[in-house]
Amino acid sequence: MEILTENRSVKHHCGLFGVFGHADAAALAHLGLFAQQHRGQESAGICTTDGETISRIAEMGLVNDIFTKRRLESLRNPAAIGHVRYSTTGSCSDQNAQPLMFSFAGGQVAIAHNGNLINAALLRQKYESHGHIFQTTSDTEVIIHLLAKPAHQEKTRPLVHVLNHLQGAYSLLLLFPDRMIAARDPLGFRPLCLGKMPNGATVVASETCALDIIDAEYVRDVEPGEIVTVTKEGVKSHRFGGDTNGRGAACIFEQIYFADPSSNIFGENVHLVRDRMGRRLSHEAPVDADMVVPVPNCARCAAIGYSNESGIPLGRGFTTSHYAGRSFIMPDQSSRVHQVKVKLRVIRDVVRGKRLIVVEDSVVRGTTTRGKIGALRKAGATEIHLRVASPPIRHGCYFGIDFPDVSKLVATNRTIEQIRDYLEVDSLHFLSADGMLDCVKMPRNKYCTACFTGDYPVEVKEPFDKFSMERSQLRMFT
Amino acid sequence: MEILTENRSVKHHCGLFGVFGHADAAALAHLGLFAQQHRGQESAGICTTDGETISRIAEMGLVNDIFTKRRLESLRNPAAIGHVRYSTTGSCSDQNAQPLMFSFAGGQVAIAHNGNLINAALLRQKYESHGHIFQTTSDTEVIIHLLAKPAHQEKTRPLVHVLNHLQGAYSLLLLFPDRMIAARDPLGFRPLCLGKMPNGATVVASETCALDIIDAEYVRDVEPGEIVTVTKEGVKSHRFGGDTNGRGAACIFEQIYFADPSSNIFGENVHLVRDRMGRRLSHEAPVDADMVVPVPNCARCAAIGYSNESGIPLGRGFTTSHYAGRSFIMPDQSSRVHQVKVKLRVIRDVVRGKRLIVVEDSVVRGTTTRGKIGALRKAGATEIHLRVASPPIRHGCYFGIDFPDVSKLVATNRTIEQIRDYLEVDSLHFLSADGMLDCVKMPRNKYCTACFTGDYPVEVKEPFDKFSMERSQLRMFT
Amino acid sequence: MEILTENRSVKHHCGLFGVFGHADAAALAHLGLFAQQHRGQESAGICTTDGETISRIAEMGLVNDIFTKRRLESLRNPAAIGHVRYSTTGSCSDQNAQPLMFSFAGGQVAIAHNGNLINAALLRQKYESHGHIFQTTSDTEVIIHLLAKPAHQEKTRPLVHVLNHLQGAYSLLLLFPDRMIAARDPLGFRPLCLGKMPNGATVVASETCALDIIDAEYVRDVEPGEIVTVTKEGVKSHRFGGDTNGRGAACIFEQIYFADPSSNIFGENVHLVRDRMGRRLSHEAPVDADMVVPVPNCARCAAIGYSNESGIPLGRGFTTSHYAGRSFIMPDQSSRVHQVKVKLRVIRDVVRGKRLIVVEDSVVRGTTTRGKIGALRKAGATEIHLRVASPPIRHGCYFGIDFPDVSKLVATNRTIEQIRDYLEVDSLHFLSADGMLDCVKMPRNKYCTACFTGDYPVEVKEPFDKFSMERSQLRMFT
Amino acid sequence: MEILTENRSVKHHCGLFGVFGHADAAALAHLGLFAQQHRGQESAGICTTDGETISRIAEMGLVNDIFTKRRLESLRNPAAIGHVRYSTTGSCSDQNAQPLMFSFAGGQVAIAHNGNLINAALLRQKYESHGHIFQTTSDTEVIIHLLAKPAHQEKTRPLVHVLNHLQGAYSLLLLFPDRMIAARDPLGFRPLCLGKMPNGATVVASETCALDIIDAEYVRDVEPGEIVTVTKEGVKSHRFGGDTNGRGAACIFEQIYFADPSSNIFGENVHLVRDRMGRRLSHEAPVDADMVVPVPNCARCAAIGYSNESGIPLGRGFTTSHYAGRSFIMPDQSSRVHQVKVKLRVIRDVVRGKRLIVVEDSVVRGTTTRGKIGALRKAGATEIHLRVASPPIRHGCYFGIDFPDVSKLVATNRTIEQIRDYLEVDSLHFLSADGMLDCVKMPRNKYCTACFTGDYPVEVKEPFDKFSMERSQLRMFT
């Protein structure tokens, strides 16, 4: 037997949730994290405070497995922050599960982070050279080292001062015994929004779907370069980060793939953005066919747009399993039993003899897409025209998305024709970068499209990998 | 806090899988059961034989949680049968997890059963009165008592003789140390099909999706009233059950709700049947609207049919969670946080201000549908026209589907108008029974439609409940 | 690495506990079983009744691991029976964990059994030939088949009638919804006693140490051939089994090895019996030495007797680990790291240069004793005189003690001198059978000494092994 | 029901084990920790290095439960350090389980510590005021902060420099990727010894019993004020700590209670020390009686000495359970069921009507001893003369033993007569401090007897509790 593990290409993203001023803060955090489980399935954690002391439960696993009734009751306190994470490491260690909790001269603090600090390794080196010791391999730990520095603590606004040291992407939640703080980097890479419970409690979440599940009302987004401090006295806002010349860096890939279709992020609904991308796609590369088939699950929004715009009927080419876990034991002799089959099943009688327009949201390595195309072909599709609702991914991300090495991206060093050939489709079109940006609402300079265009919103001077946490991670956990 | 448990209305159905003649029989059974996990999530089990001795692992839980690599290796043998089950009881007992395994004068035997024996309680009473003892509360155990009876063992074909005693629905798999036997009741209530592995091994499964996942080729259905015996010498078939006057009783609800859309059962593809039901629905009760919205997940097939036939565009009104477990701890003060939200999220910007045609596959209690309708209304839908791709359910099932008490069905003692009023929709139409039967392939007298029509294919003389296993179950496990 | 598993020579014995008429029956059973954990460490179980329905929890593991607070609360009922077991099989199956629970025409019944039925296999064959089916491989299950037989149920006293069919050793506890029954075979192989709680509740236990732990008062032993029935109306006694011509078969090995030294069984205190055996030993084979060293743990009673009688001071040659589990991973290169070391540590400075009288309670295979002797020798003991407080074991037990095959007993086909040679001791003496019987209180014909003398109290006609359950066990679970 | 938790009076002590230069280092560490399980049952951990990277597994639980075969294989490396701990906190957190592992400018380091640093809180305050952050509440973490300090790293011998900052008791093991270091504080509070494997590998352990279990040869003790560095090149020794004026502080309580009787510590065998204490006791307070009864388990050594010296025969008054876990659910109505019964059972027929000399090793709170005395009295002992093989404990320990608050010690503010009265014994004698010191080998000024005499070997200036870690612990984990 061989063990077949899933080979997700895009695996690093995190979700945040916080609530201040509600007796059931831990139970609300449980629901808020559950609603954002798609943002990270490897670990989950909640920290709560009773006003004086912070408690923490965080470990590897799914939200609903970790937080039993008994554990939630042990965390029952009027304020909570939580985190879900799909780490970059694949390690089974609980040590990096967030929120992290530390003690320093100022007392206790817990922190949850979505994003990636590109100068974390340099900062860590610096603090190590000053004698600091580290317990995790997370870039998040350096933020607390910065915060604990006496010279920083003496500033009028220590956190403003600290955040000005950070480079990269960070939506943050901090919990002190008496207050909760939310912050978003000046370019606004990752989403973060504010909501309000019927009882007046303040809620913070990565996506609005976490507000919906607890009947919280959406108030507004945390602005890029904004720190929001929530105490018993109320909510205060401070700005940091200086002038970005109007530049923003909202991650367009959140709209394309990460966020839940029911969420509103960066000012608009995710499904509708994807629907528009599908419509646009139908204009950029029209083709005559019998049926538009979405590749589950993410491409369904774009496929609906494509079908409605083109008038070519939508067809259900696949069913999906709702029970798939991480790995399967495969029989030796059935080498043709591909992993794709475990999660997706072709409805053969639907696709047999048909000319298909297959809509994907994005293509990363190409291996999974290739498997799905092969399954449709084997089921008897006569033509397969692949339409991808985003441009080819050809550049790495240093801001929180864990693409594989550039060398493993299907579009690296391949022309569109070569990709078409590799994927074994009859025709192939990727949405143009222009087309993509036409489908979103904010001005173009407010988005980061670096993975598609190589146009990084922040100069990444040092060969990032050289100082990456991953190296020390290897040293600590391998 | 209160604990919110899911309130599925239809919960009893089982799935079978067997393979004979493949070194990795247990690993294949694992995959075959996984592909049929939708047929039962409460318990799962596999029995294998090495030719002399049967081994068994069966317990409460999901297929992929129970069968670890180590356990599959401990079951490595050339023949296996497996079972998934959603029991009627909600008990946490492993004792009823199938396959059941027994020892009798003829040696060892394991048995897996999908269906329901309407004379099981009477047979159990009879055997108990002859001094037999029972360890489970399953109707399945009586089959082995019948089989072990010396008078029955002396018959030329003991199993034929035994099956002739049974009344009701039964697709069965039996495993003896040296052979696997599949059987289907004379009316053919539940599906059961035969397949072949590339190496020639014989496979049996409830649905063809279990063949697809292991690259087995579909050969044919096990016929109603057929016993298929698989040994090293090959496959033999025997008939039993006598003449049914051409009557069959293929469960139409398998086509409407149970089976996976990618499966072929009763001679045709499930998705295509549902697609036709959606199309038919659009003709039976046309209505002007902006968008056709399927209620996830099951109604998507019918909604596609409705949209394509009517020309009204399909819209994505909901997203679904892939991580929902059995129960959630809910905060006290958020009483409006309904369970529906945990699994389904409305895409508000999609439905706001729209006139919707909402397509459901079936309505049982009505409570969940009502919740979903309310969520759409709250999100701003201006009109909601509910179209249900099956007739109203008004009668109990004694053949393997665990509907709630008739008194709890929304359609009992309610006119369509009253149901419309209860569900708070602007208009409501259920597919006609005629329309439903027009969408399937076999002659009308080959289907059981009793839950819709009250036309039972077998006379259920005794007040069934009076002798039900459930009573003794209560006595044994409460 | 190799895995080192413990190689206990004597592993089959069970413990019983029952209580009727106390609101905390399950919690009392938990304590009563815990106090008798030495009688069986493989599985444990408790069944309780609320007067109408029996509940059961039984699985592999130690008493205190299985019975959590939550589980005990779920079993809270006014009557309970419990069982601890060290099975003969080493299988990891929960299926045989007692008490077993069945349903038959008379309703529910649970049963717990200590002993061994020598005609169980024959009875099982008979019932199987009448069409009965079996779910366990336990000899205990046949008792319920007998009890459920209609012809037996029609007797005035069905249980009396049933017990008269049984041959062998059985102390039994049965629980019906409304009554608890204790019974002991006519020869009284295994101990069973009655006690009373301060509130008047009736208690039954294998050993009095289970009464002590719950502050129950010892009332009397259940007599050989007695059935004690406990209901709300009170306690009734019936005799069965006819005349044994004054013969009894109290297992002398219970006095030598099984029972806790604090218990009174067969009418006298276990420690004092062992102390007398040690004293007797000092007279049968006196030897000049510096120190009497007991082999932990069981031989400490006899060693104290030996030392006090001989005047040779007691020395502590070993310390024992209280934390030893079942198996250890051993480093490859340390082949001399014997398993003995994991449990026992020699106190080298105590034994170095000393002439030792080492007292053992019994020697079965001899391997463990040999290891201990070797450890003392390696630590520098100059002379080692082994004194065993029981005769050589040379015959199998068919009545509930699971000695290894006769071929593996060290005393089979070896003279005392050859055993001495094998164990590498300077001198060796086994307590004489006469001496042993002088140390216990009842007349000699009331004891079974078959393992030492071959004098079986019951004729074991059939080659027992031929029909043993173990064979079918192999068929069912291997 | 109430839950009865064990109320051990002395619960803080730890055990260390390290090995360098053996392919099975992790498996050896497993055995070495197992042999020292008596030194700490709350958590256990092992860190190993492959020469470049350190791996770690540490959590709450017993050695043999935590280290499965699979886990040991994942740790298979040629060097390992391990730790067992009974923490002062009772918290269920894994966060403090040792060895701790950190990363700093010098790379990775793991640390295991037995003892207590009396200036840890002050050092932590200082480092926190310099901006350091802490993840654990352990006093051990400050050692690594000291070590990581650049000014310290620049010293010729950084560790020597660091250890000179520490006050209190510390036997330490550090593991760097390429070396293992053992160190013992200048006063030598806790034991630490060096051994050698047959293959030449160097072993370090708290007690020699850990050498015995792996067949390692005892070489010598690590000296007070010595650092032993083990690399591939061999073993080097350095001194630190300056002159102590010949003062030592070997913890006499290790000899009395902690260490295993089979171990040699501080230059002599533990059992023989205790045997001498028992003999001495018989001279200090002779009394006429029938029997000397040890209180299990620890007092057996002293009781043997007492009996052999006095000529009064040893008797077995108690049996002990080998299966006791942490807590028991007790029935409400049996309030007289004391916890003592769960672990100890009186052999009534032995003590009834007897005049007993009961030997205890030490008395802390007195509650447990009182319970045992009461049990003997209830069983019918006519006289009970308690002899304690150590002086009354009247002072706190700041060096690694977690006695309860002084206010809870039975001997605080009580005369011997008042203690006798509280314990309800007929006569009472504690071994004199002089007598105690006569029974050990080293000069009197080499021992710490502060808990008995109040004569602290180190001035404890600050009210220790004021700055204790426990306060911050409460803040972090409550």
Residues of chain A in contact with residue B44, where contact means CB-CB under 8 angstroms, are none
Of C94, C148, C477, the CB nearest to B132: C148
Residues of chain B in contact with residue C103, where contact means CB-CB under 8 angstroms, are 128, 133-135, 137, 472, 475-476
Please judge whether B269 and A318 are an interchain contact, meaning their C-beta atoms are less than 8 angstroms apart. no
A397 among known catalytic residues? no
Pairs of residues, one from chain C and one from chain D, whose beta carbons lie less than 8 Å apart = 210
Query: Are both B274 and B130 inside the same structural domain?
Result: no
Question: What whole-number distance in Å separates Cα of residue D336 and Cα of residue D333?
Answer: 8
**Domain presence at residue A2:** no
Query: Are both B219 and B192 inside the same structural domain?
Result: yes
D156 in contact with chain C, both atoms CB, cutoff 8 A: no
Smallest CA–CA distance, residue A102 to chain D, in Å, is 5
pTM for this predicted structure = 0.86
D477 in contact with chain A, both atoms CB, cutoff 8 A: yes
Specify the range with the lowest mean pLDDT, choosing from B367-376, C324-333, D53-62, D426-435.
Answer: C324-333
Question: What whole-number distance in Å separates Cα of residue C356 and Cα of residue C341?
Answer: 19
- Report yes or no on chains B and D touching (3+ CB pairs under 8 A): no
Tell me which chain A residue has its CA closest to the CA of residue D95. Answer: A95
pLDDT of residue D7: 38
Element (H, E) at D168: strand D168-176
Residues of chain A in contact with residue B62, where contact means CB-CB under 8 angstroms, are 323
Tell me which chain A residue has its CA closest to the CA of residue B29. Answer: A331
- Helices (H) and strands (E) in chain B — how many of each? 18, 25
A316 in contact with chain B, both atoms CB, cutoff 8 A: yes
C328 pLDDT above the threshold of 70: no
pLDDT of residue B468: 47
Assign C89 a pLDDT band (cuts: 50, 70, 90): very low
Q: What CATH number is given to the structural domain containing A133?
A: 3.60.20.10
Specify the range with the lowest mean pLDDT, choosing from B323-337, C274-288, D105-119, D380-394.
Answer: B323-337
Residues of chain C in contact with residue B108, where contact means CB-CB under 8 angstroms, are 475-476
Of D31, D264, D329, the CB nearest to C72: D329
**Domain presence at residue D154:** yes
Residues of chain C in contact with residue B53, where contact means CB-CB under 8 angstroms, are 474-476, 478
| Interface-testing mutation among D275, D298, D330, D334, with chain C (most C C-beta atoms within 10 A) | D334
Contact (CB, 8 A) for B34 and B65:
no
Give the domain range for residue A39.
7-249
DSSP state of D249: -
**Domain presence at residue B367:** yes
Kindly report, residue by residue over D88-127, the tens digit of the pLDDT. 433 445 678 899 999 999 999 999 999 999 999 999 999 9
A269 in contact with chain B, both atoms CB, cutoff 8 A: yes
Of D94, D148, D474, the CB nearest to A131: D148
**Domain presence at residue A24:** yes
Kindly report, residue by residue over A216-266, the tens digit of the pLDDT. 999 999 999 999 999 999 999 999 988 888 999 999 999 999 999 999 999
pLDDT of residue A324: 57
Question: What whole-number distance in Å separates Cα of residue B413 and Cα of residue B409?
Answer: 9
Of C72, C330, C347, the CB nearest to D269: C347
Query: Are both D241 and D271 inside the same structural domain?
Result: no
Question: What whole-number distance in Å separates Cα of residue C274 and Cα of residue C259?
Answer: 11
DSSP bridge partners of B430: B388
Please judge whether D24 and C31 are an interchain contact, meaning their C-beta atoms are less than 8 angstroms apart. no
Query: Are both A71 and A121 inside the same structural domain?
Result: yes
Of C261, C346, C350, the CB nearest to D347: C261
* Sequence-ordered strand ranges (E) for C312-421: 318-320, 327-330, 344-346, 355-360, 383-388
A279-293, A319-333, A461-475, B462-476: which is most confident: A279-293
DSSP bridge partners of C396: none
Residues of chain A in contact with residue B46, where contact means CB-CB under 8 angstroms, are none
Specify the range with the lowest mean pLDDT, choosing from A10-14, B350-354, C27-31, C87-91.
Answer: C87-91
Please judge whether A328 and B63 are an interchain contact, meaning their C-beta atoms are less than 8 angstroms apart. no
Query: Are both A208 and A272 inside the same structural domain?
Result: no
pLDDT of residue C462: 52
Given the structure tokens 């209690």, which residue do they identify? B365
**Domain presence at residue B17:** yes
pLDDT of residue D389: 98
pLDDT of residue B331: 60
Contacts by residues C281-285 (CB-CB < 8 Å, ≥ 24 positions apart): C281/C305, C281/C306, C281/C359, C281/C387, C281/C388, C281/C389, C281/C429, C281/C431, C281/C435, C282/C306, C282/C309, C282/C310, C282/C387, C283/C309, C284/C429, C284/C431, C284/C432, C284/C435, C285/C387, C285/C427, C285/C429
Question: What whole-number distance in Å separates Cα of residue B201 and Cα of residue A328?
Answer: 21
**Domain presence at residue A101:** yes
Question: What whole-number distance in Å separates Cα of residue B270 and Cα of residue B252?
Answer: 11
Chains touching B by CB (3 or more pairs below 8 Å) = A, C
Q: What CATH number is given to the structural domain containing B311?
A: 3.40.50.2020
Query: Are both B350 and B235 inside the same structural domain?
Result: no
Given the structure tokens 């370090």, which residue do they identify? D204
- Burial bucket for residue A405 (CB in 10 Å: 0-12, 13-18, 19+): exposed
Query: Are both D233 and D269 inside the same structural domain?
Result: no
Smallest CA–CA distance, residue A209 to chain B, in Å, is 7
Element (H, E) at D384: strand D383-388
Of A3, A72, A316, the CB nearest to B301: A316
D295 in contact with chain A, both atoms CB, cutoff 8 A: no
Of A55, A104, A476, the CB nearest to D108: A476
Q: Give C 205-244 residues with CB within 8 A of chain B.
A: none
Chains touching C by CB (3 or more pairs below 8 Å) = B, D
Which regions in chain B score pLDDT beneath 50? 1-12, 89-92, 325-326, 333-337, 463-478
Chains touching D by CB (3 or more pairs below 8 Å) = A, C
* Sequence-ordered strand ranges (E) for D89-132: 100-104, 107-117
Of D214, D318, D334, the CB nearest to C214: D334
C172 in contact with chain D, both atoms CB, cutoff 8 A: no
In the listed set D249, D281, D302, which residue is the last one of a domain according to the structure? D249
Please judge whether D144 and A133 are an interchain contact, meaning their C-beta atoms are less than 8 angstroms apart. yes
Smallest CA–CA distance, residue C311 to chain D, in Å, is 9
Which of C110, C112, C109 has its CA nearest to residue C43? C112
Task: Say whether B9 sits in a helix, a strand or coil.
Answer: coil
Query: Are both B79 and B187 inside the same structural domain?
Result: yes
Residues of chain A in contact with residue D475, where contact means CB-CB under 8 angstroms, are 52-53, 103, 107-108
C472 in contact with chain B, both atoms CB, cutoff 8 A: yes
Element (H, E) at C45: strand C43-49
C12 pLDDT above the threshold of 70: no
C149 in contact with chain B, both atoms CB, cutoff 8 A: yes
Please judge whether A214 and B334 are an interchain contact, meaning their C-beta atoms are less than 8 angstroms apart. yes
Query: Are both B227 and B291 inside the same structural domain?
Result: no
Please judge whether B54 and C476 are an interchain contact, meaning their C-beta atoms are less than 8 angstroms apart. yes
**HEC letters along A158-214:** HHHHHHCCCCEEEEEEEEECCEEEEEECCCCCCCCEEEECCCCCEEEECCCHHHHHC
What residues have CB less than 8 Å from B439, skipping those under 6 apart? B273, B276, B277, B280
Structurally, chain D folds into a number of domains equal to: 2
Query: Are both D233 and D360 inside the same structural domain?
Result: no
C314 in contact with chain D, both atoms CB, cutoff 8 A: yes
What residues have CB less than 8 Å from A334, skipping those under 6 apart? B24, B28, B197, B198, B214, B215
Mean pLDDT of chain D: 89
Query: Are both A307 and A367 inside the same structural domain?
Result: yes
Report the pLDDT averaged over residues A374-384: 96
A165 in contact with chain D, both atoms CB, cutoff 8 A: no
Half-sphere exposure of B10 (CA within 13 A, CB side): 22
Please judge whether C148 and B128 are an interchain contact, meaning their C-beta atoms are less than 8 angstroms apart. yes
Kindly report, residue by residue over D10-49, the tens digit of the pLDDT. 444 799 999 999 999 999 999 999 999 999 888 999 999 9
Q: Which residues of B have a catalytic role annotated?
A: 14
Please judge whether D215 and C334 are an interchain contact, meaning their C-beta atoms are less than 8 angstroms apart. yes
Query: Are both D214 and D274 inside the same structural domain?
Result: no
Question: What whole-number distance in Å separates Cα of residue A327 and Cα of residue C40?
Answer: 39
Report the pLDDT averaged over residues C229-239: 97
Please judge whether D128 and A134 are an interchain contact, meaning their C-beta atoms are less than 8 angstroms apart. no
**Domain presence at residue A459:** no
C160 in contact with chain D, both atoms CB, cutoff 8 A: no
Question: What whole-number distance in Å separates Cα of residue D382 and Cα of residue A341?
Answer: 80
Q: Give B 352-411 residues with CB within 8 A of chain A.
A: none
Q: What is the ipTM of this complex?
A: 0.88
Contact (CB, 8 A) for B1 and B331:
yes
Which of D9, A384, A194, A342 has its CA nearest to residue B31? A342
* Sequence-ordered strand ranges (E) for B185-249: 193-196, 202-205, 217-221, 226-231, 234-239
Of B27, B67, B301, the CB nearest to A330: B27
Tokens at residue D57, please? 């597994």
Tokens at residue B159, please? 């199993």
Residues of chain B in contact with residue A380, where contact means CB-CB under 8 angstroms, are none
Kindly report, residue by residue over C413-452, the tens digit of the pLDDT. 999 999 999 999 999 999 999 999 999 999 999 999 999 9
**Domain presence at residue A176:** yes
Residues of chain D in contact with residue C27, where contact means CB-CB under 8 angstroms, are 1, 329-331
B477 in contact with chain C, both atoms CB, cutoff 8 A: yes
